[in-house]
Amino acid sequence: MNARQVYFVSDHTGVTAEVLGHSLLARFGDVPVRTTTRPFVNTLERADALAAELSGVPDRPVVFSTITDIGVRERIAAAPCVHLDLFEPFLGALEEVLGASPQARVGAYHGIQDLASYQARIDSVEFALSTDDGSNVRRYGQAEVVMVGVSRVGKSPTCLYLALQYGVRAANYPLAEDDFERDALPEALSPFEGRLFGLTIASRRLHELRQQRRPGSRYAELRRCEYEVRQAERLFRLHGIPFQDASSLSVEELAALVLQRAGLERHR
Amino acid sequence: MNARQVYFVSDHTGVTAEVLGHSLLARFGDVPVRTTTRPFVNTLERADALAAELSGVPDRPVVFSTITDIGVRERIAAAPCVHLDLFEPFLGALEEVLGASPQARVGAYHGIQDLASYQARIDSVEFALSTDDGSNVRRYGQAEVVMVGVSRVGKSPTCLYLALQYGVRAANYPLAEDDFERDALPEALSPFEGRLFGLTIASRRLHELRQQRRPGSRYAELRRCEYEVRQAERLFRLHGIPFQDASSLSVEELAALVLQRAGLERHR
């Protein structure tokens, strides 16, 4: 069976079309598809060029679109494709309930709507970078959450996702040999105990991840991983630190769980 | 006017509901709203608790939902709210064109569908971290793109977004005083000339950004910023490096433009 060709078309970044389009396709997980994103289709010329491309695709391609300009949208809708306009079904109901007409604001959500709030989001990325892996602990007072856990448990990607997607200031600090031998939290963390959130992981999965980084090392040994995970969880329990098993969770899932369980506000 | 209460409800992370919901609300930019995300509403009990909460909201709240379980969805739909199911309008057309029935796969897109491809995305985050700001140049051979530009132009957040959202391996290297005095690209970059992508910025904006970081420093002086921007753009032109003005663009916009202009493949 040939893979069906799927386009995500937007007059802006294409992120919204990709996210909803992929989520919908995931519901049909066994059907083979090939996906292509066409961002910035924001002139009639670009719409016509895309329509010409679509007419060259053998099977009618599926087009998920988020286009605000009426003229551009009409050209795509008229092209030989199955056109799914991701905005259209909801605008009428929103118009009624909000008591206002939709405006043709191209890409307002994924652009810079408000410079101060965008800058705060970028500052939180810079914060996550500068406080990664135990760096610059003197800045931890500004953190909304401090993720703790053993090396390779997934702290850094989770903090970066929290910053980029939600503008949340998240620092992270590794638990290591010293801490386990002392059987105590790192002293540097004691001023921030109320803001700590732990990540843990299945020992075998940790072993695999560390094997990829340093094959055959003591660091990667299964017994070493078992010891560290056990000790880390012991410290979480001892200090009443909420913690989450990250073994089979994506960064999107971890971020949503951390926000929910730590009661943090999304800044976006 | 009271802000209308808007909920993003999902049986999984809520990312899809947030992204399309915010994009739709942006079309009604002047209407005040207060948004709340309720992720992991994946049992009838949680659905009932949310329905009870919704019935306590004075004005009928707007609910954007992405829920695959029929029972949970029905409870939310029956609650006193304006319920916009973000999946429903598209499933029929997709069922027809794909020749398959939609499955109730909860949160398949923002979870780990395929461990190898998820791991590749996380590896690209680790790559961006380890090659940030000119570090570990020996790893640049693995980069799909190497972003170059002056300090504070926005290289790091763009690379991290490319990694997290698209699984693209992006390194970044700062252009600095030495390079401008020599009027040449850093030698370390010469093996990667075909993969370089420049970022530039309005001098005044750069001056503001640097003032926030180091107020009153020589680094932040407007004349210094003007000089660096001029010299960086000169180097981009001299070496035929594609470049983009980042002054008023978000990371989402920069990432989409870099992917498009550098002809890079999205790995997701």
Q: What pLDDT, on the 0 to 100 scale, is given for residue A1?
A: 61
| Dist. CA A28–CA A42, nearest whole Å | 30
Pick the CATH number of B4-98 from 3.30.9, 3.40.50, 3.30.70, 2.60.40: 3.40.50
Mean pLDDT over each residue of chain A, to the nearest integer: 96
Q: What is the pLDDT of residue A29?
A: 86
| Residues A44/A75, Cβ–Cβ less than 8 Å | yes
What value does the CA radius of gyration of chain B take, rounded to a whole number of Å?
24
With 80 as the cut, is the pLDDT of residue A108 above it? no
B160 contacts in A (CB within 8 Å)?
Answer: 125, 160, 164
CA distance from start to end of chain B? 42
Contact A30, B100 (CB under 8 A): yes
Beta carbons of B40 and A15 less than 8 Å apart: no
Q: Is the pLDDT of residue A173 over 90?
A: yes
Contacts of B154 in chain A (CB under 8 A): 122
What is the end-to-end Cα distance of chain A in Å, rounded? 42
Tell if the CB–CB gap between B157 and A60 is shorter than 8 Å: no
Q: Which parts of chain B fold into alpha helices (H)?
A: 15-26, 44-55, 70-78, 88-98, 115-130, 155-166, 177-182, 203-213, 222-238, 251-261
Cβ-proximal residues to A236 (8 Å cutoff; 6+ apart), any chain: A198, A200, A242, A243
Are the C-beta atoms of residues A12 and A65 closer than 8 Å to each other? no
Q: Helices B155-166 and A155-166: crossing angle, nearest 10°?
A: 110
What's the one-letter identity of residue B195?
R
- The two three-digit tokens of residue B85, written as one number: 């199911």
From chain A, the residues in CB contact with B253 under 8 A are 12-13, 107, 110-111
Six-digit token pair at B210? Answer: 């640097």
Domain ranges for chain B, please list them. Answer: 4-98, 115-261
B257-262, Cβ contacts within 8 angstroms, sequence gap of 24 or more: B257/A40, B258/B145, B258/B147, B258/B158, B258/B162, B258/B170, B258/B197, B259/A37, B259/B162, B259/B166, B259/B168, B260/A39, B260/A40, B261/B197, B262/B145, B262/B195, B262/B197
Q: Is A173 helix (H, G, I), strand (E, B) or coil?
A: strand
CA distance A61 to A4: 7
Which residue of B22, B35, B39 is in closest CB contact with A256?
A: B39
- Output the pLDDT for position A163: 98
Tell me, what's the ipTM? 0.96
Which residues of chain B are modeled with pLDDT < 70?
1
Each residue's pLDDT tens digit, A38-80: 999 999 999 999 999 999 999 999 999 999 999 999 999 999 9
Contact flag B37-A266 (C-beta cutoff 8 Å): yes
Contact (Cβ atoms closer than 8 angstroms) between residue A184 and residue A133: no
Residue of A nearest to B112 (CA): A250
C-alpha A66/C-alpha A89 separation (Å) is 12
Taking every pair of Cα atoms in chain A, the longest distance, rounded to a whole number of angstroms, is 69
Give the E-state strand segments of A11-81 in sequence order. 33-38, 62-66
- The Cα of B183 is separated from the nearest Cα of chain A by a number of Å equal to 29
Each residue's pLDDT tens digit, B146-190? 999 999 999 999 999 999 999 999 999 999 999 999 999 999 999
Q: Are strands B82-85 and A62-66 parallel, antiparallel or unpaired?
A: unpaired
CA distance B64 to chain A (A): 10
Q: Could you give the angle at the alpha carbon of A110 between the alpha carbons of B59 and A141, nearest 5°?
A: 85
Residues in chain A: 268
Compare CB distances from B20 to A31, A86, A157 and report the shortest one's residue: A86
> φ, ψ for residue A251 (rounded to 5)?
-60, -35
Cβ within 8 Å, pair B252-A60: no
Note the CATH architecture for domain A115-261: 3-Layer(aba) Sandwich (3.40)
Q: Write out chain A residues lying below 8 Å of B211, CB-based.
A: none
Both structure tokens of B232: 């960086």
Shortest distance, CA A137 to any CA of chain B (angstroms): 18
Across the range A203-217, mean pLDDT stands at 96
Per this entry, what is the length of chain B?
268
* A13 closest CB neighbour out of B84, B112, B252: B252
Identify whether the C-beta of residue B55 lies closer than 8 Å to the C-beta of residue B80: yes
Rounded to whole angstroms, what are the CA distances from A192 to A141, A185, A241, A264?
A: 7, 11, 11, 15
The whole-model pTM stands at 0.96
Most B CBs within 10 Å, among A2, A20, A96, A213, to test the B interface: A20
User: Does the pLDDT value for residue A130 go beyond 70?
Assistant: yes
Residues paired with residue A170 on neighbouring β-strands, in sequence order: A145
Least confident of A96-105, A122-131, B13-22: A96-105
Measuring CA to CA, which residue among B224, B133, B124, B191 is closest to residue B164?
B124
| Neighbouring-strand partners of residue A225 | none
Check if A4-98 and A115-261 are the same fold. Answer: yes
Which residues does chain A have within 8 Å of residue B107's beta carbon, measured at their own beta carbons?
Answer: 253
Average pLDDT over residues A173-190: 95
Portion of chain A with pLDDT greater than 70, in percent: 100
Tell me the C-alpha to C-alpha distance, in Å, between residue A21 and each of A15, A63, A105, A149, B60.
10, 9, 21, 35, 28
Give the sheet arrangement for strand A196-200, strand by strand.
Answer: A170-175, A145-150, A196-200, A243-245
